[in-house]
Amino acid sequence: MLQSLRAALADRRRQRQAARVTPAWASRRAREGAAFLDNADPGWADRVDPRTLVLADGQACVLGQLHGDYRRGLSRSRVLDLSSAPTRFVSPVDLGFQASGEGGQEAERLDYAFLTRAWREEVRARREGPLAPVHGAGTAARMAG
């Protein structure tokens, strides 16, 4: 009986976790991760190819494209800094670099799909936003216009 209760509670928890996997949640996390990269690695979006960007692939994800592979990117971008005691914990899931695995495999697959779309939008926004390069114009022209 105790085992069936535990199983039911675990199933309920997975369902709650899966329910929070939405495009809005992925967008919020990707926005946080993009802001993190804006500070840690200015110009990062110019080095990411949104056409080949796939968050579930450790070499085609954002950190993979920037640093060769996901795990190397975690340390090089200082999402995980093992060189000294961390002053705060930064979660790759919270920054949209990794899907949440807490809702089961289907929820994780869906989260990666939502994250891929959200990151493509973050890259596009940085390339086409108000400070994006204007064809044939320099920085002064962008700032004046």
d(CA 23, CA 49): 21
Segment 87-101, tens digit of pLDDT: 556 899 999 999 998
pLDDT, mean of residues 48-68:
98
Rounded to two decimals, what is the model's pTM?
Answer: 0.76
Residues 106, 2: Cα–Cα separation, whole Å? 27
pLDDT digits (tens, 9 = 90+) for 19-52: 678 999 999 999 999 999 999 999 999 999 999 9
